């Protein structure tokens, strides 16, 4: 029994880690640009596929490094060409735009790499279980969680201690004032969008090693990420972090006792938060209301 | 008497509006007779009608109240499942099934609306998307009851009326089309009356300047909630028709993709116009039907349509006309 629980706890940790990476990227873009990026899950898939394509030449480690950067670059292109044009318009347009983009990217992935799942090769050392006793915990799982922790700590340090990070945080609260103070808000938003896509790309590479590749691999992560943001509180990245971990763990622990309800639990948490604390666990009062 | 006549006259549509009205109803009434000649089929026209009704319901919220819901598929799908489940498990009666579906979808929307009326903009949209997906997962995973991924089958629409006054909508697509058209006309007439009433004007006032409306003492939250609720009821009504049309309820009718389709139909036709969503639905449904019969990569085309509409055509077809008219 303890093995089952432990298995699901590590599962929850890993699922939660993916929710966190996805939701942090979405949250960054939402906070600064007021855009819900429906295509975020597709940027994740792109990151995975790029790694799949690059790993024969660059090796796994090279692909792990380069493919998120390429995803971010694609994000820059998308932001400059399309999303930038709709910043000052009704939010319905940004939703429709990223929604259409999601369709296009997903179909492009299917067209280029085929509709069927592809396996992502891992270095031998990562594919081993850590001990024969804990056969279900491979080094890869440990590795994934480590990478996510390092990335999240890095992101928060970046936002806390660098000038650009400060501007992003300030822009979340009052972009107009930030612009008046002479900051180039256009570039700031592009950069911020790219960071969001970088996180999506990184989760794509990591997810590919765990579940393999398919054109709609990001879709299942999108909804929980939205919920993580709402539960954590819109406008608060720490909230998003907590929200992601919370629903990841809740879903995994429910799987131990009643697998069919693992999705329902996520929605239960959402409803409870909307009922009891509508601004979210760590959300600011008055934001987006 | 004369003042009544004057009032009636001032309410009666004139000029371009009258022309639009006559054109739309002429097309709607005659379409089953000429669409097959153009290579279409009557069920396609029914589909346009059903999606058009849902999009017009959404537009009450989106275009006239200025509140963005990206989860209307949930209420549409709940309507479909409500009707389907009633027909399959409870009674073999079309009107009762429709009533059950409308109540299920409408009340779910009304209850959920209460939780989120204080939210605005993208946050409101995000809540509606997330909550909408709940129903998708429910239909998807409650296999025994809802048919799961394969959808709900084994039910079919029943003739309406009793004994001599029976209208058999089970046979022939045209009969069902006219049945849908009658329901459509009633719902759309109701919406038209609603939008001309003080309530409808208040909604537009909230859209135009929420803060000002609030200062004038208008209970904004209650109005947004009512608007959300009414539009959910209409989406659910359209959903029941959709289940009856196909004799099938599909979990994809609950998926947020369909919510996106409703929104794009509304935008293509023109968000701030009354008939825009219907025109948008007609264009979108025909295009989708055509493209998906031509290529497996139809998703790209639909996605490109979304992007092009947003970037180059944000006012929509009827919205463009309105601008040139003024």
- Rounded to the nearest 10 degrees, what angle do helices B15-34 and B173-196 cross at? 160
- Write out pLDDT tens, residues B293-314: 888 888 898 899 989 999 998 8
A164 exposure class (CB count in 10 Å sphere: 0-12, 13-18, 19+) = middle
Identify the segments of chain B with pLDDT beneath 50: 325-326
Q: What is the structure's pLDDT at A204?
A: 93
Q: Does B254 touch chain A (CB under 8 A)?
A: no
Which one of B116, B123, B306 has the shortest CB-CB distance to A96? B306
Distance from CA of A217 to the nearest CA of B (A): 16
Nearest residue on chain A to B131, alpha-carbon basis = A267
Query: Which distant-in-sequence residues (6+ apart) come within 8 Å of B31 by Cβ?
Result: B42, B45, B177
Nearest residue on chain B to A36, alpha-carbon basis = B122
Nearest residue on chain A to B66, alpha-carbon basis = A90
Which one of B62, B121, B306 has the shortest CB-CB distance to A288? B121
Is A213 strand, coil or helix? strand
Tell me the pTM. 0.90
Q: What is the structure's pLDDT at B157?
A: 82
Nearest residue on chain B to A96, alpha-carbon basis = B306
Is B48 strand, coil or helix? helix
Calpha distance A237→A156 (Å, rounded): 9
- Write out pLDDT tens, residues B214-267: 999 999 999 999 999 999 999 999 999 999 999 888 888 999 999 999 999 999
Nearest residue on chain A to B314, alpha-carbon basis = A93
Q: How many CA atoms lie within 13 A of A230 on its CB side?
A: 33
Q: What is the structure's pLDDT at B230?
A: 96
Q: What residue has token string 């009533």?
A: B99
Return the closest-CA partner of residue B306 out of A128, A244, A220, A96: A96
Nearest residue on chain A to B257, alpha-carbon basis = A99
Return the closest-CA partner of residue A236 out of A278, A194, A274, A281: A281
Q: What is the structure's pLDDT at B34?
A: 87
Q: What is the structure's pLDDT at A138?
A: 80
ipTM for the assembly: 0.87
Q: Does A136 touch chain B (CB under 8 A)?
A: no
Identify the segments of chain A with pLDDT beneath 70: 134-135, 285-289
Calpha distance A272→A243 (Å, rounded): 13
Q: Does A77 touch chain B (CB under 8 A)?
A: no
Which one of B116, B260, B300 has the shortest CB-CB distance to A107? B300
B125: which 2 tokens?
A: 């949209």
Calpha distance B82→A282 (Å, rounded): 37
Q: What is the structure's pLDDT at B4?
A: 63
Q: Do the chains contact at B68 and A90, CB–CB below 8 Å?
A: yes
Question: B128, B58 in Cβ contact below 8 A?
Answer: no
Q: What is the structure's pLDDT at A289?
A: 41
The pair phi, psi for residue B128, each rounded to 5°, is -65, -35
Q: What residue has token string 């029914």?
A: B46
| Mutation target vs B (from A100, A230, A274, A286; most B CBs, 10 A cutoff) | A100
Question: A193, A83 in Cβ contact below 8 A?
Answer: yes
Q: What is the structure's pLDDT at B262?
A: 95
In chain A, residues with a C-beta closer than 8 Å to the C-beta of B302 are 100, 103
Q: Do the chains contact at B299 and A82, CB–CB below 8 Å?
A: no
Chain A and chain B share a number of CB contacts under 8 A equal to: 131
Spell out the alpha helix ranges (H) of B35-93.
42-62, 72-85
Return the closest-CA partner of residue A38 out of A105, A87, A107, A112: A105
Which one of B70, B118, B311 has the shortest CB-CB distance to A289? B118
Q: Does B265 touch chain A (CB under 8 A)?
A: no
Spell out the alpha helix ranges (H) of chain A.
2-33, 40-81, 91-113, 124-127, 139-161, 163-173, 175-180, 185-211, 219-232, 237-257, 262-276
Per domain, the residue ranges of chain A are 20-220
In chain B, residues with a C-beta closer than 8 Å to the C-beta of A96 are 260, 263-264, 267, 306, 309-310
Chain B (95-134) residues lying within 8 Å, Cβ to Cβ, of chain A? 115-116, 118-123, 125-127, 129-131, 133-134
| Mutation target vs B (from A96, A259, A275, A288; most B CBs, 10 A cutoff) | A96
Q: Does A86 touch chain B (CB under 8 A)?
A: yes
Q: Do the chains contact at B122 and A223, CB–CB below 8 Å?
A: no
Q: Do the chains contact at A96 and B138, CB–CB below 8 Å?
A: no
Distance from CA of B110 to the nearest CA of A (A): 14
A280 exposure class (CB count in 10 Å sphere: 0-12, 13-18, 19+) = buried
Which one of A108, A111, A289 has the shortest CB-CB distance to B120? A289
């Amino acid at each position: 029994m303890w093995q089952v629980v432990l298995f699901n706890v590590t599962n929850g940790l890993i699922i939660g880690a993916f929710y966190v990476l996805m939701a942090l990227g979405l949250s960054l873009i939402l906070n600064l640009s007021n855009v819900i990026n429906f295509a975020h899950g597709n940027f994740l898939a792109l990151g995975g596929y790029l790694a799949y394509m690059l790993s024969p030449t660059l090796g796994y480690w090279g692909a792990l490094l380069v493919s998120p950067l390429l995803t971010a670059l694609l994000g820059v292109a998308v932001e400059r060409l399309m999303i930038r044009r709709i910043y000052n318009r009704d939010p319905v347009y940004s939703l429709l735009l990223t929604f259409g983009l999601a369709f296009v990217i997903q179909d492009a992935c299917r067209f280029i790499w085929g509709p069927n799942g592809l396996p992502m090769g891992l270095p031998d050392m990562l594919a081993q279980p850590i001990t024969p006793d804990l056969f279900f915990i491979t080094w890869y799982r440990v590795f994934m969680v480590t990478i996510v922790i390092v990335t999240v700590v890095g992101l928060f340090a970046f936002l806390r201690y660098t000038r650009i990070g400060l501007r992003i945080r300030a822009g979340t609260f009052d972009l107009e004032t930030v612009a008046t103070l002479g900051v180039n808000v256009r570039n700031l938003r592009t950069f911020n969008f790219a960071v969001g896509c970088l996180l999506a790309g990184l989760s794509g590479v990591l997810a590919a090693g765990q579940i393999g590749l398919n054109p709609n691999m990001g879709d299942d992560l999108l909804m929980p990420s939205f919920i993580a943001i709402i539960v954590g509180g819109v406008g608060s990245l720490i909230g998003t972090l907590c929200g992601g971990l919370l629903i990841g763990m809740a879903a995994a622990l429910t799987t131990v006792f009643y697998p069919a309800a693992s999705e329902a639990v996520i929605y239960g948490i959402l409803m409870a938060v909307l009922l009891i604390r509508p601004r979210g666990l760590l959300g600011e009062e008055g934001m987006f209301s | 008497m004369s003042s009544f006549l004057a009032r009636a006259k001032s309410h009666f549509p004139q000029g371009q509006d009258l022309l639009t009205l006559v054109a739309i109803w002429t097309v709607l009434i005659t379409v089953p007779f000429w669409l097959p000649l153009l290579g279409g089929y009557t069920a396609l026209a029914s589909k346009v009608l059903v999606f058009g009704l849902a999009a017009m319901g959404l537009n009450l919220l989106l275009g006239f109240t200025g509140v963005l819901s990206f989860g209307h598929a949930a209420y549409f799908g709940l309507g479909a499942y409500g009707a389907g489940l009633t027909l399959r498990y409870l009674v073999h009666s079309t009107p009762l099934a429709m009533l059950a579906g409308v109540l299920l979808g409408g009340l779910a929307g009304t209850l959920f609306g209460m939780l989120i009326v204080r939210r605005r903009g993208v946050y409101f949209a995000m809540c509606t998307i997330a909550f909408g997906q709940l129903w998708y997962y429910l239909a998807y995973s409650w296999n025994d009851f809802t048919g799961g991924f394969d959808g709900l089958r084994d039910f079919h629409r029943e003739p309406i009326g009793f004994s001599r006054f029976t209208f058999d909508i089970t046979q022939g697509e045209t009969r069902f089309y006219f049945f849908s058209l009658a329901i459509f006309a009633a719902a759309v007439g109701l919406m038209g009356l609603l939008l001309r009433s003080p309530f409808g004007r208040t909604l537009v006032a909230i859209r135009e300047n929420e803060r000002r409306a609030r200062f004038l003492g208008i209970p904004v939250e209650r109005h947004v909630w009512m608007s959300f609720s009414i539009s959910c009821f209409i989406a659910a009504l359209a959903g029941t028709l959709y289940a009856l049309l196909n004799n099938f309820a599909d979990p994809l009718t609950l998926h947020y993709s369909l919510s996106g389709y409703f929104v794009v139909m509304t935008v293509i036709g023109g968000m701030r116009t009354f008939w825009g969503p219907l025109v948008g639905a007609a264009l979108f449904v025909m295009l989708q039907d055509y493209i998906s019969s031509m290529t497996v990569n139809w998703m790209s085309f639909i996605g490109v349509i979304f992007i092009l509409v947003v970037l180059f055509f944000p006012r929509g077809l009827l919205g463009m006309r309105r601008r040139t008219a003024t």
